[in-house]
Chains A and B, each alone.
Chain A
Amino acid sequence: MNIFGIRKTTTTEQFRPSFEPEANQNPLLYNNATPATLDQLPLRTKDCNIRNMDDYEKNIIDMFQTFSSQQDKRFREMLTNINTTRQDMFQNLSNQQEVRFRELLTDLNCARQEIYQTVSIQQEKCFKELLTSLNSARQNMFQELSNQQDKRFNDLITSLQSTRDEVCQLLYDQREKQFEELLSNVNRIKVEKETLSNTFNNLSSKYDEVLLRLQKTDAEKRDGEENIQRLQKKLDILERRLSLSTMKLRNIPKINKYEFETKEDLCKFIIKLDFTMADQVDSMSDAELRTKLAEHGFPVMPITASTRKLLVKKLKLVLDNKSKPRSSVDNKVDNRRSLARYSSGEESDLDTTANAKEKRGRRATTGGAMLPPAANKTRRVPIKKDSPAKRDSDKGSESDEEKDRSGLSTREEVETVTTRRVTRTYAANDQDDYETGSDSDVDADKKTSSPFRSSSRSSDYISSTLPTVDVGTTPPKTSIFSRASIIPTNYTSTYSSNMTSSDNLNSIRSRLGLTSTLGDRPTASNYSTNFSRSTYQPSTSTIDEIESPYLSNFTRRLSSLKSDPPKPTPYIDRDTNNGSTVLPRRSYISGLNRSDIADYKTTDKKFLKNNLVSLALVVLVALFFFCLFFMYIVKKNDITSVVDDQNSVIPICQLNIPGNRPGVNCVPKEQVSYAKDLLKVIHPELTTRIASYKCGQPGALPYMTEREIIEIASAKAETADVSQCRTDLNNLQVLIINNPRWGLNVVQLKSLYTKDVEFSNIRVTDMIVQQRTKGTVAITLTDPSTPLSCLFVNTLYSAGSTLIVVAVLTILALGVQRAYKHYVSYKKRKSEEIYSMVEQIIDVISQETEDSGEPYISVDHVRDTLISPQNREKMAAVWDAAVKFIQRNESRVRMEVQSVDGEDCRVWRWISAHSSPKRSAAWQGQAFETQEGSVNNLVVSPTPCLKIRHMFDKNDANPNLRSVIQDAILEKCGDHCNILHIDVERTSCCVYVKCASPTDAGVVYRSLHGWWYEGRLITVKYLRLERYMQRFPNSPSVGPFLRMTRPRRTWD
């Protein structure tokens, strides 16, 4: 390039000098030439003439012009020359340059390629060298590493192997040792096991013995239980008998200190008591009723006028219910109480210092059973204090000891017993009262000892069923208190021996007194104490009677039962001694333990419990009959036993009787057994056939023909002696005919070849002979039994069919019932429609006749007003029926024919127009004058209060009576009268009115006094204010005056 650049500059330098001198030469030529000529011209002119001058000028100019054109021509030629030369030079130069440039380029490329090649060759060489060196180094290193690893691994393996061998050796040794030990152990255990099995055998034999003994004792126990049950039954029967003849006089609520001088008085009193008991609930106050209800487990609720009746009814019902399930046990409670009286009486003799205290305690205990628990709690304390002392006085220390022993152990069961008993006893109370009321005078007349005995007996029972608890050991909350009481039987004996009528009365009175304590009348208890003190002496206790309380209920019962029969003689002795012995004991049941609510709710459970035995009996009987039925079904009539029966009739052929033909009417004696054997052979086959026939299998026949029998017999007997079989069969037929009770029949087939099973019995042996020849004799069972499965299937079929029939019938019946119901409802609807139509018609008639003034209205018009056009066709029947109904049953409407607008048509005439509408609660006019100046008018009204009589009837049951009356009064008095308060007293038929001032009261007085109100004449009186306030303390003294509740009626 440099070469090219240098060349270029050189060419421009060469060119420029050649061009410039030419360019500079031309202007010099031009400029220099012209002034020189001009300067020369004036000079010439001075020398020559002027005219020449102009020519000269013209020449000059021509010369100049030619000169310039020559110059131009030369200049242009020169320019074109220069240009062409220049272009040539350029061309040359560029060509040269290109050539040089190409040469240079090729040189450069060659050099570059050479350099590249050399460089790459060198690089490859170096790279190869490096690679080879790296590979060799790597291989060396690998070699070294693997060598080291191998070495280490070998070392490890050798060490591991050695240790493993050692461990194995050790383990093996140990195991062997243990195994030996185990073997020795096993041997030892085997020895032990053998010894153990020996001992076990011994033990099992002993156990069997024990079992045997146990069974024995069980059997003994069962015997004992049976005995016990028998005795219990006896006991129950005796009790029932006794209770039948019992006079019960107790629990009569209220009694005053009446003295019953005569029997009549007593009877009257008892009757009266009955009535009071019945009316007691009715006459209770609200508060009493509430407490009573709460006592019986009802929720406490407001007792209003509306609820009171219901609650009273409920209470009565509950009382009645409770009295029903009560058994005689309650009597026993009462009797216990009465007996307690006697015993306490005797105690009081013994222990007179504690008399007052005891009385109190007695009252509390007797009252306790009837009182609500709350009341009882407060009274229980004295009893507790009392009873130990009593017991001590009665029985002494020995009883205490025994009680201490039995105390806690018996207590729990005792409580359960008592609670159950008590619920029952409590329930029976009231009814018994009524009974005593009715029975008492009869018994008193009889003066027999039986009622008293019975009652005492029952008390004995109760005391025995309620064995009691030691007071010392039981916590203070125990509900049962026990003490000894007099033997009731003793009491009866005294009665029977030396009881006078007055004594009888006295005793009754004492009982009444007792019951009066129940009814919360403490004063009456005096009777009982007095009586007991007068009649009974302190008792001497006998040992056996003391022992009895500590026995169980049951033994107690037994003992009392046992002691019953031999009693009479000892009684007489005691009677003569007039000594009373101490009876087992008496137990008090405090109200705390009995919960009435529980009783109320558990009646259902009790019902189940009570009826368990009877239910079980029924089930047992049903089971028994079912078993019987089953056995009957299952029972098979064993043919062999029947056939071998001695009673079967066997006609033996006897040679001396001429008519005997063997096989026809008699059997040779030696062939009887063969015939029977034949029967035994064919009987099972026959039964299976009949069974399959009965089961409805196709092709089965209910009989066996002679041919079949002979085939079977010959097959069974393995002797092909057909004739022998034949004779046997003949004999068998004779036997069967003679013994209908074998259950077999010889029959004659109606048709042998058809499959029909018709046949007729053959009763005569001669017939057989005839039929034998035909081959139509067969044997069948008289009353074939169907197998169970078939029976079941058949029953199922028949049951299914009956079920279907029943279902169809019920569906039919239901359908009929539905249709009937539908019909009835349809009728009802129709009649309702008719009635409503009639009412509408009457309304329309009355309205229209009132409005229009005409007394009648067209029937069609009424119809058209009532029924819309689209319904007219539909309602035609209803309309006709309504019209007929009105014609027949409506007295206020008369149907007649009138000409309306010249046309005759049926019309209804309203004919009740003059009967005035009923005026209710209306003032009907004045009876006498009350205006000023009249006699009835007071000049000054003294008080603001008034009392109005006769405004309503006593029987008026209108619940809104007060508002009605208030409206009537306000209406009558008008707005100008200020009334503060109006109230109604229904019992006296009075209305009380309080006005704001005396003058207002005067207005009321004048406007009401002497008026007729709803057919009653009203009288008004002034009432003093304080009296009024006394009666209605809440009546307002100021404030809003009363206004009418309904719109005012126009009053003329």
Chain B
Amino acid sequence: MSINKTAQAPRSFIGEAFKQFRKNRLAVTSFILVIVIMLLGVLAPLIALEDPVNPSPENRLQPGFWAGNFDHPLGTDELGRDIYSRIVYGAQISLKVGYTVILITAIFGTLFGLISAYYGGMIDLILMRITDIFLSFPPLLLALSVIAILGTGLENAMLAIALIYIPQMARIVRSSVLTVKELPYVEASKSLGAKNSFIIIGHILPNILAPSVVYLTLLLADAILYTSALGFLGIGIDPSTPEWGAMLSKGRDYIILGQWWVTVFPGIMIALTVFAFNLLGDGLREALDPKMDV
């Protein structure tokens, strides 16, 4: 009986978490929003009206549906491109950046954090001082310097943003590992003669998953925001790429002249996406954190 109960424990944890998550209405809404944004990105080639890159200046700065223009429902930008189509393709870019940054951060952050905490001593000291160095730079400045060294381009921008978060991720993983590695089951495993690799993969990694996942979800929103910031500053990417931040920046000059739509729609999209991922992250944290379970 008691054996049975322990075996079921992990399952009921996930089930409990799911229940907890479902109770949180805001989280569910944000989850749906995230799905919609993902669908926008995935289906972009099908639902876009026009090529998002090719300019047609004869149609420049046309207002959208509020002026009865249904050919370009959200209007056109300063080079006559359909803003709706650019936004849809922009979702692809934002999500691509988000996931790539998360992937790089997850891999390297976890690696450094694990090694640092598990082996301790000199390795820990060196790795943590390096993270200190990186953490001491203002994030955007760090990203700008990395781009200045590596050159521009979306790939380099993603790398630069990942570099901001790897040290933070490493810190979070390290602190989780430090707690976990002192727990009796790790000690038991050690005394049974298990190899370090087995302990790390079999015992430690699964137990630090929850805080990492939460952090990574929150990070996704930040990564999207930083890409937009880099796009806004005009560094990082090819200007014809339909990146939301870059679109926002280029529309800036037109707000006073009454052509607000060039800026407003990409702005709304950035806000919505970041909002959705943040709420999703919060929801996940509440659901996964056993301490919040009442």
Mutual binders A and B: no
